[in-house]
A and B are shown apart, each in its own frame.
Chain A
Amino acid sequence: MADKSKIGMELPAYTFTVEKDKIIEFAIAISQKGRKEETNPIYYDEEAAKKAGYKGIIAPPTFATSSFFWTGGGLMGAIKILGIDLNRLLDREEEYEYFGNIYAGDVMTRKMKVIDMYTKGKGRRTIDVTILETELINQRGELLVKYRSTLMEI
């Protein structure tokens, strides 16, 4: 439910390590491949990644969103804090801005805050909207990706 008092609220910051095997697991899932050898080698082969111009194995573009589920009690923990009803929850929008690549082995700090909460519609057909902004900062204090997630309760 849209609770305007939560606008501006910062969720607890969490720190996690970007595991190499988690990256390839994710790359396999989004490419629907059966084996890692069928995916892009920059997601599992350090040498191939370096040859392609990276400092090491990198994470795919939508990998950053997983930090939402790995920290703070996962999905259930986050929606409890936000007062969102799981039975009505749907993703609506996701928008990333990239400042650098996320590398395997990076120790990332996730900062997340509530940008907006509001109710759309009238009467019985209302939709509650929650907009979150997340920043992922690496162990050197560099902001690598910032993204905005719009969640809807229908």
Chain B
Amino acid sequence: MDINYNDIEIGNEMPVYSSAPITRTDLVRYAGASGDFNPLHHDHTFVKLIGMKNVIAHGMLIMGIVGEAITSWIENKYLRKFGARFLSMTEPVDWDDEENTKDRATIIVSGKIVKKFEENGEKRFQCEIIAQDALGSKKLSGFFIATLP
């Protein structure tokens, strides 16, 4: 995975990354790991109270998955900026209806290099990113800026 700055060109795509279908267990695990215990992400009685049908994934779990997608391509030490806007909610897979719900819970991350430039004395590039579920519904749009040797 040794990529050099000269290897990348504007228009190149980042390797497509696909998550496992997000489960309620994943949400609880992320809640514990991150400390984000907003009941919206695990407590069905709270969710019903505010008029929603299902618990939803933490936006920051989706962004974390996007971070995994990026750093499995470009090493962490080269990352300079990383931004995301959350576009829609993600419901986890229902085990009692896996066939019909796994696609809404699977996050597919793709991206394209849009800019190469110099900043702070470094050669940097910018990559625009989209995360969508396997049904094509957009979850997050974002970007990262990184340097490379």
Residues of chain A having any CB pair with chain B under 8 Å? 22, 25-26, 28-32, 40, 42, 52-54, 58, 60-62, 65-66, 68-70, 74-75, 86-87, 89-98, 101
Whether B55 sits at the interface, judged by CB under 8 Å, is: no
Does B13 belong to the interface (CB within 8 Å)?
no
* In the complex, per-residue mask of B63-98: 1 if CB is within 8 Å of any chain A CB, else 0: 111011011100111011111111000000000000
Interface size bucket, B side? 35 or more
Q: B26 is contacted by which of A29, A89, A94 (Cβ under 8 Å)?
A: A29
CB distance A94 to B63 under 8 Å?
yes
Beyond contacts A58-B77, A60-B67, A92-B59: 18 other A-B pairs, Cβ-Cβ < 8 A, are A25-B33, A26-B64, A28-B29, A28-B33, A29-B30, A29-B33, A30-B33, A32-B19, A32-B65, A53-B75, A60-B71, A61-B79, A62-B60, A69-B35, A69-B36, A75-B36, A89-B40, A90-B86
A93/B64 in contact, CB under 8 A: no
A75 partner, pick from B38, B64, B70, B80, beta carbons under 8 A: B38
